[in-house]
Chain A
Amino acid sequence: MNDPLILYASLITLFLPVAGFALVTFSLGRIKKVFIGEISLMAVSLLSSVYILIDKLFLHPGVTSVFEFSWISFATGTGNQPINVKLGISVDSVTAILMFAVMLISFLVHLFSVEYMHGDKRFNRYFGYLGLFTFSMLGIVLTHNLLMMYIFWELVGLSSYLLIGFWFEKDSAADAAKKAFLVNRIGDIGMFLGILILFITYGTFTFSEIFAGIGSGKLPFDSEGWLTAAGILVFLGAVGKSAQFPLHVWLPDAMEGPTPVSALIHAATMVAAGVYLVIRIFVMLTADAMVFIAVIGALTAFISATIALTQNDIKKVLAYSTISQLGYMVMSLGVGAYAFAFFHLITHAFFKAGLFLGSGSVIHAMHHEQDIRNMGGLRKKMPVTYFSFLAYTLAICGIPLTSGFLSKDGILAGTYSFGLLTGHWLIPILGFSVVLLTAFYMFRLLFKTFHGKPADLHKYEHAHESPFLMAMPLVVLAVLSVFFWYGLNPASPDSAWFVSKWIDVPAKVVPESSNFSFMNTTATGGESLYNAEYTEAQHHAHFPTMIMSLLFDIVAIGLALLFYIYFKLNSRKLAAALPAVYNFSLRKWYFDEFYNGVIVKGTLLFSSGLYAFDKYIIDGIVNFSAYLTKLISRVSSAFDIIFVDGLVNFTAYINGFAGKHLRRIQTGKVQTYLVLVLFALLTLIILFKP
């Protein structure tokens, strides 16, 4: 059932933000308060997305609305099958929820930015970029085919570039923007190749048609290995966009952008695009691809959590925690906990946007001080920020009664049962250790920022609670971090509405031989993704998971208390005792050094090699051929001058000479001519006489 109202609402939601961008751009700085217009358009767009959300969750649950039109069609394409490139949108509950989350956070960030960016000389342009970004992100969410996905994917990359480098006068910001763009491009190449593999096999970009093709038993190059490869290649796009290991290095640097931008893009939405992409292609992932994805996600979660332990920049800690949480989502998809991955995507979007906006509020109050060593004691000065920040911190640590508890425990239970069923124990081990690390570094951040004694009294004196427009979004997001919105039972992730009602886990379409046995649909009559074995494993996993994660939380928070509140343990002494470990974490596992040393230097070396090749070989050949040409033309010129010109001049000389002498017989006297005539006549007669 395709309700045209859904189409109109989707298009309104999609295009109003870009209309805002156009408005700001084409006002050319002549309208002073043009940002108000942009924000109004965003508000309308938000309302429109609320309509879609209500329709998809409550009025027509389980209905997918697809609107498409044929863009380009060829009668014959590869393998004589017709190619029909369709553009279109598809709206289901996943789309509706994510669209709403994007719009809500985007809108809150707009409000927050009005105060935060106050007085910036490119104030209006900033809002234009936000509009462009929101448009691109909504495009990714709405599209029903890989082609448009790729287009909007790149648009997101572009707007991210513009926003990270918004303060491009700072070299570090400009560099960070470049880095983000280039690192993303590496992932995008993989995604592009994956799309090409799928396109030449199925002759279409549309998700549903590709999946139908796989379901009918047709495989790329008739090989399950290629299907795995296609899945992993498309996933590489997500690795770049969602900052997964080993392409995660751009995200911490992206913190050079304005803090609300970090909240919108690098916490809640843009990085979610990668996870969303994996959600969309989930049904075509083979078992091998899923294990690969799960391992990448687990490694990402673990590595970035260890780095976050020692960072001193408030935004850097949050950045690494974002990477870690994104690793959770990706890992969750890899182990087949599909609904929980999306659930965590949404809950994380809210509390992480909140954390970033909260840190923005702190930074704003501290006059752009970002180092937590210079903060402390701020909870008395900024109660609203403090309490909302506390709520987000509890949520990200997965303390009961928060949204994070529900989604995170679901994921951990998924990894645990995955370990039970497949023996891939590395994934749950990493997953659980991240719980410990997360709780510790988040409480370290909270304690160092808001508790204890102020480290910088001067700045502390001037700190103040943020104005209404900044505080309000914090409260809204804090309220959204409570379990109530997601399920009535705060202790049971399985009964959260995301899992039990809103998200239908689609059946896998990959051949049974390359799927996990417990995910084969035949065992369950095609009704659900999981058969009894998996459900049972999850039931088994549920209780130990909850106990373990709670235990880890308590231990970690206790440690953080001992370190940073009661000072029973001295973190500096610990760092001094284990300098190697400390530095390894502080220097971010030396990723940047490694990339600089190996990739960048390698590239430079390679290009200087190519340069030398160019200079000596190619230029040599070119110069030699030029020299040869010059030589040949010298010879040719000499030949021309001496021989050809000589011939011409000689002819002319002969003619001149003959003329000079023959002119003498031209006396002008009739009788002379007559003599000549007679002479000639006589000669002829003598010559031709018979």
Chain B
Amino acid sequence: MESMSVGLTHFLVLSSLLFSLGIYGILTRKNAVLVLMGVELVLNSANINFIAFSRFGNFGYDGQLMALFVIVLAAAEAAIALAIVLNIYKSFHNVNVDEIDKLKE
């Protein structure tokens, strides 16, 4: 029996799971901070995809480079998003995304 080596499929399944978890978190959590955490999960699932295709695909180092970009982007995004959340909290005195539906108006 061949030794089971970790292949592209494993990575993709992992990243899909992670993505789905992230989406689930985004869609179901009421707390804005938790929603942001879901977003992080989605970003990282994408990163896993990049790295995986960089390793197994024939694309050189483009995937790794892109992953680095995403990490930096995620950091920046987290900073801005948290700032927004803080401001939301200042305005509405909570961070429950269900209750913040001012857009409707």
| A interface residues with partner B (beta carbon < 8 Å) | 666-671, 674-675, 678
Contact = CB atoms under 8 A, between A and B. Distances in A.
A674 B97 CA distance: 12
A689 B43 CA distance: 23
B101 A678 contact: no
A494 B23 CA distance: 141
Contacts of B100: 669-670
A395 B93 CA distance: 136
Nearest to A670: B97
B23 A667 contact: no
A670 B104 CA distance: 10
A667 B26 contact: no
Contacts of A674: 26-27
Nearest to A675: B27
A622 B47 CA distance: 86
22 contacts: A666-B103, A666-B104, A667-B101, A667-B104, A668-B101, A668-B102, A668-B103, A668-B105, A669-B97, A669-B98, A669-B101, A670-B35, A670-B97, A670-B100, A670-B103, A671-B27, A671-B97, A671-B98, A674-B26, A674-B27, A678-B23, A678-B27
Interface in B51-105: 97-98, 100-105
Nearest to B29: A671
A498 to B, nearest CB: 117
Nearest to B28: A671
Interface residues of B, number: 12
Contacts, number: 29
Contacts of A670: 35, 97, 100, 103
Contacts of B35: 670-671
A675 B105 CA distance: 20
A674 B103 CA distance: 14
A668 B100 CA distance: 8
Nearest to A668: B104
Contacts of A666: 103-104
Contacts of A669: 97-98, 100-101, 103-104
A669 B96 CA distance: 10
Nearest to A663: B104
Contacts of B102: 668
Closest 9 CB pairs of A and B: A668-B104, A668-B101, A668-B103, A669-B101, A671-B27, A670-B97, A666-B104, A671-B97, A667-B101
B84 to A, nearest CB: 11
Contacts of A675: 27
Contacts of A667: 101, 104
A666 B103 CA distance: 8
A690 to B, nearest CB: 17
Given A668-B105, A671-B26, A675-B27, 7 more contacts: A666-B103, A669-B97, A669-B98, A669-B100, A671-B27, A671-B35, A671-B97
A679 to B, nearest CB: 11
Contacts of A668: 101-105
A671 B97 CA distance: 8
A151 B57 CA distance: 112
B99 to A, nearest CB: 9
A340 to B, nearest CB: 117
A667 B104 CA distance: 6
Contacts of A678: 23, 27
A670 B101 CA distance: 8
A674 B27 CA distance: 8
Contacts of B105: 668
B40 to A, nearest CB: 15
A666 to B, nearest CB: 6
B72 to A, nearest CB: 24
Nearest to B30: A671
B38 to A, nearest CB: 10
Nearest to B105: A668
Nearest to A666: B104
A678 B20 CA distance: 12
A362 B104 CA distance: 114
A63 to B, nearest CB: 111
Contacts of A671: 26-27, 35, 97-98
Nearest to B23: A678
B105 to A, nearest CB: 7
A675 B35 CA distance: 13
Contacts of B101: 667-669
Contacts of B103: 666, 668-670
B35 to A, nearest CB: 8
Contacts of B27: 671, 674-675, 678
Nearest to B104: A668
A670 B105 CA distance: 13
Nearest to B27: A671
A681 to B, nearest CB: 11
Contacts of B98: 669, 671
B24 to A, nearest CB: 11
A675 B102 CA distance: 18
A668 B98 CA distance: 9
A678 B22 CA distance: 13
A655 to B, nearest CB: 20
A667 B26 CA distance: 17
A671 B99 CA distance: 11
A36 to B, nearest CB: 99
